[in-house]
Every structure is written in C-alpha cells, then in structure tokens.
Amino acid sequence: MSFAFLLRPQLPAYTCRACLLRLSRASRRPISSKTAKDQKVNTALPTSPARTRFAPSPTGYLHLGSLRTALFNYLLAKRTGGQFLLRIEDTDQKRTIPDAEQRLFQDLQWAGLEWDEGPEVGGPYGPYKQSERSTIYKEHAQKLLDSGNAYRCFCSAERLNNLAEHRHKLGLATDYDRTCASTPEEESEDRAHKGESHTIRLKVPDQYPTYKDLIYGTFRPLKKRGHVTETSFEDPILLKSDGLPTYHLANVVDDHLMKITHVIRGSEWMPSTPKHIAMYSAFGWTAPEFAHVGLLVDEKGNKLSKRNFDTDITAFKEMEIFPETLTNFAALLGWSHKEKSDVMDLAALIQNFSLKFTKGNTTVTFGKMHFLQRKHALLRAQAGGPKLDEITDNVARLLTSPDSPYPDWRKVVHSSPEPYITQIIRVDAENYTNANEFLYRNAFFFTPLRRSLSTPSTTPEDIPKRAHMLADISKEDWQKENLMQKVHEIIDGREQGKEGSKDVYHYMRMALTGQEKGMRIYDVMLILGRRETLARLGVD
C-alpha cells in the first residue's frame, strides 16, 4: 500500500483538487517491488547536529498536536547536539489572537521546551517573527522573477473565480491557466510600477521532483495528465497583492536562511511539500529533510478537536498534569522506542529519541496520560525537592482554602499541614493524579473518624479489646517495626491465632480509615500518629 492511501482520508480542507487527484491516483497504483523498496526508511539519526524549528501561528493557542510537533523537533535537535529554533509565523494579522504569542512562549517554557534561537532569545538569523521579515520575502520573490522561475499575475479575483467555476464544471482541478505567464517582462514591470494590483506566482515544473520522506519513504508525484482543450498549472501564489508572503514562500525562505536541516511536521502539509521542493530547486538551494507525522485522532478516527479534547495546554495545567507527564504522553503519540518502560522525563526522552515514527494516524486515549501522571508522581515523591513540594503545596492550598471540602481537618492535623501531607504523598504517590482526587481518596486522613461509625458489626468482640494493646507503645517508639510486632501479638494472643489475622486487619482498617481497602495499615498508623490512631480505635 502506498503511503498516499494512508493519508488521503485526512487531507486538510485547503488542499487543492490537483493534490487530491494526484494522491487519489497514487492510492490506486499497484506497488511494484521497486516501489516497495522506495518505501523503506532509514530511522538512523543524522550524523551531524540537526537544526530544527517550531513555527506556530499566533492565531490560536498551543494544543496537544502542536506541542507534539514542537517536542519532536526539540528532541531531534537535542539528541544530536543541535539547535531548536522558535519562529512566529504572524503574517495573518486579521486572525491573530492578542495574547496567543505570549501564551505560546509560556506554554513551551512550562513544558521545558526552551528554544536556542527565537523571540526573547535572539540569534544570528533573526528576526524570528515573519511580520518583521517582509523585506526579505520581497527580495527573494524578486530573485525568482529575475531567474524566470516566477511571474506576476494581474488577474482579477472575478476572473480567477470564473476560471475555477469553469474548470470545476468540467471535473478538473481548479488550477491557474498561466495567462499572465506570457506577459512580456517590460509590460509586467511597467504595470507593477504603476501600482496595478497583482500577485507573484511560482512557475512550477511540468513534473514535480521526487523527494524522500523520513517516515514514508520516496514520494514520486504522478506525471501530469492534460486535457484536450484545457491547460492548467499548479502555480502557487508566493506574494499576495498586499505584498505579504504566503506560507509557501515564507516557510521556504525562512527555513533556508535559518539553516534548518530537518523539518518534522504534520501529514496535512504533505501535499504542499512537492511545491516547497520545487521552490528550493528554483532558488538553487538544498531542501531540508522532511518527516511528516500522522494526525492525532479519536477512537472513531476523527481528527482531534475541542470537542474531543484537543484543547489548549491550559486545560492540562488546570487538571494539574505535570509538564513531564504531558511531554511523555505527547512523545508516545506516533513514536516508538526500545526501552522497557514508557515512563520518561524530558532528559530520558532526549537520550532515547530516534526517528522511528509510526506511519498513519495515531489514536489518542487519555488513560495512558493518567497512568503516566501516577508514575511521574511516584518519581517526584522518591526524588523529593521542589517537584514534590509543588504537589504538597497544591494539596495544602486546596485543603486550607475557605471552601475546603474538609473543614474539620484541624481536628486531625495538629500542626502545619505541609509535612503531614508530604508523608501521605510519599506513601500514596503511585495513586496521585491531582490535589482534589488525592484529598478525596485520602479523606480519612483529614476527617475525624470514630470507632462507633466505622467498626463492622461482624467484628469478633475480643478484637477491639485486644487492639488496646497498641497503647503500650509510647509516642517515642511509635515506629513501623514496633507496630508490626504489637499487631502480631494481638493476633497470636487470640484463640484463632494466625487463622484469624484477617479479622484483625479488617477491623483495624475499618476503624482507622472507614474503607475496605487502601494503603498499608502500618503506614496509616504512622501518618495518623499515636494520638489519632488510638482515638479511632476507642482507646482513651
């Protein structure tokens, strides 16, 4: 199966009909042994430092899909000792959201994706905002005019619309007919000089060049098929009538001037890549390596949207998802590795990164993210330090807030809540997802609980009495080893002996936590402390 077939159902709405037709034909083409060989890819890392970039538009906020794109480019640069650039593609001023640019900076920094060159950092190939590079684009459009690889198009919007409608009725791709390509150079110059509205189009070759995608292998565009009476050409506009560049021109010029060696981007840009390759050729430049990663889709195969949780990064922050959890989760969407565990922080992702991407789209299910959150919570608890303190502070802030769901917590916690909370986190970190869920799961630690409310009616009468033996342990000796020894004495002293141990543990768990299941009972006793433990067991 050719890779074009894999991508065809997910092509973006703005893809031209010519691209759709070409990829549709490619999907029906039988694969020869030569074609199959072309699809083999080399997943080896480049032998020299890679320069990669993330080029978002401030027309929206950073979401899961764009974070993944940024992350893959970041990991490749860092894995090879190269540089990761941030470039803001802000030429579409009408759709720009006022705070989107600053939010992009904040969200990337929150995720740990610090850029080596770009806004707020600088670098040798700036400016790194396209709105500040208009002169550069005009100069390069003029170079293509001078070399004969581009031409001015003076056609009105009305003519272009009529042409598109005419071709559409014939069942043809709505491409341009190159009417203006034959305009004499002097006439073109004169009309432009007089201020006549026009665009600049790339004069594409009759056959697009072959290129090799790092994920899908060799892409060979089909030979163009003509029409008996109609001629058309996929000559993309480079410079719009307002003098601003299109994505095609700005993207190619910027990547070349910024010395980008590798471009990892979404598969929706795949139909545009032959145009970009043709433009590199027209300039006489070497194109970077391209890797097109599949789309993120839900379980029904639909592209992620706000309705199915492809929302901006703020939502994950509000859920208290750790940065290392989200980058870990995003990295696993369409990338595979040889490690035994999927749990990796950013440093581990860099160390293990390769170009082993999966072909086709990736289904997103968020159960994996919550699994990773618990694993990273455990790592934070084991490591201690600021990241553990952050969890503690979040829980303490919720617990002590005026609208705390546990207003009587002070009756249980008789000192500052932070050390108490940290104790619980260290024991229960493998179940931690966020502060609210943590408090709910461990509510018995923050709510007074008495024996009359939690002792099972089926508890043998001698167990509550024998549980009083725990009072023999002093406050100074209230340690795990001593608690275990005393509980064993309670069990051994009963007529049933060890055969009745289950009843003893069940009684203690219910008396101390009010729950059938939960963390180890000795950990509960240690965290509650001697005073609260004995009170819950009815020992005055």
Task: For residue 469, count CB atoms less than 10 angstroms from its CB and return exposed for 0-12, middle for 13-18, buried for 19 or more.
Answer: middle
How far is Cα of residue 316 from the mean position of the Cα atoms in its chain?
A: 11
Sign of CA dihedral 91, 97, 102, 105: negative
Report which of residues 173 and 405 the model is more confident about.
405
Q: In the prediction, which pLDDT does 18 show? A: 42
Kindly indicate the confidence band of residue 46, based on its pLDDT and cuts at 50, 70 and 90. Answer: very high
Q: In the prediction, which pLDDT does 91 show? A: 86
Six-digit token string for 535: 């009170």
- Three-state DSSP string of 275-289: HHHHHHHHHCCCCCE
Q: What is the pLDDT of residues 1-38, one digit of tens each?
A: 333 322 223 333 334 444 433 433 333 343 333 455 55
C-beta of residue 67 within 8 angstroms of C-beta of residue 111: yes
- Three-state DSSP string of 42-64: CCCCCCCCCEEEECCCCCCCCEH
**Pairwise CA distance, residues 479 & 388, whole Å:** 24
Q: What is the pLDDT of residues 199-220, one digit of tens each?
A: 999 999 988 888 899 999 988 7
Q: What distances in angstroms separate CA 187 from CA 145, 153, 191, 203, 460, one per listed residue?
A: 13, 12, 6, 18, 105
Q: What is the pLDDT of residues 104-125, one digit of tens each?
A: 999 999 999 999 999 999 999 9
Identified catalytic residue from 37, 223, 259, 306: 306
Q: What is the pLDDT of residues 332-344, one digit of tens each?
A: 999 999 999 999 9
**Pairwise CA distance, residues 434 & 321, whole Å:** 7
C-beta of residue 498 within 8 angstroms of C-beta of residue 491: yes
Count the Cβ atoms, other than its own, within 10 Å of residue 501. 16
Phi and psi at residue 200, to the nearest 5°: -120, 125
Angle at the Cα of 80 (from 79 to 84), degrees rounded to 5?
80
DSSP-based helix, strand, coil % in the chain, nearest 5: 50, 10, 40
**Pairwise CA distance, residues 407 & 200, whole Å:** 69
Single out the residue of 372, 431, 399, 412 nearest to residue 528, CA to CA.
Answer: 412
Single out the residue of 438, 443, 380, 419 nearest to residue 529, CA to CA.
Answer: 419
Average pLDDT over residues 355-383: 95
Six-digit token string for 470: 């725990």
Q: Is 306 a known active-site residue?
A: yes
Six-digit token string for 193: 């000089």
Sign of CA dihedral 439, 442, 447, 452: positive
Residues near 61 by beta carbon (within 8 Å), at least 6 away in sequence? 97, 100, 103, 104, 107, 312, 313, 314
Kindly indicate the confidence band of residue 530, based on its pLDDT and cuts at 50, 70 and 90. Answer: very high
Q: What pTM, to 2 d.p., does this model score?
A: 0.88
Residue 453 has pLDDT above 80, yes or no: no
Kindly indicate the confidence band of residue 498, based on its pLDDT and cuts at 50, 70 and 90. Answer: confident
Mean pLDDT is lowest, of 71-85, 174-188, 306-320, for: 306-320
Residues near 284 by beta carbon (within 8 Å), at least 6 away in sequence? none
Q: What is the pLDDT of residues 381-421, one digit of tens each?
A: 999 999 999 999 999 999 999 999 999 999 999 889 999 99
Count the Cβ atoms, other than its own, within 10 Å of residue 325. 24
- 3-class DSSP assignment, residue 204: coil
High-pLDDT (> 90) share of the chain, %: 74
Q: What is the pLDDT of residues 223-237, one digit of tens each?
A: 655 554 456 688 999
Q: In order of start, what are the domains of the chain with their CATH numbers?
A: 3-40+135-239 (3.90.800.10), 51-116+249-297 (3.40.50.620), 313-445 (1.10.1160.10), 451-536 (1.10.10)
Average pLDDT over residues 410-435: 95
How far is Cα of residue 120 from the mean position of the Cα atoms in its chain?
A: 23
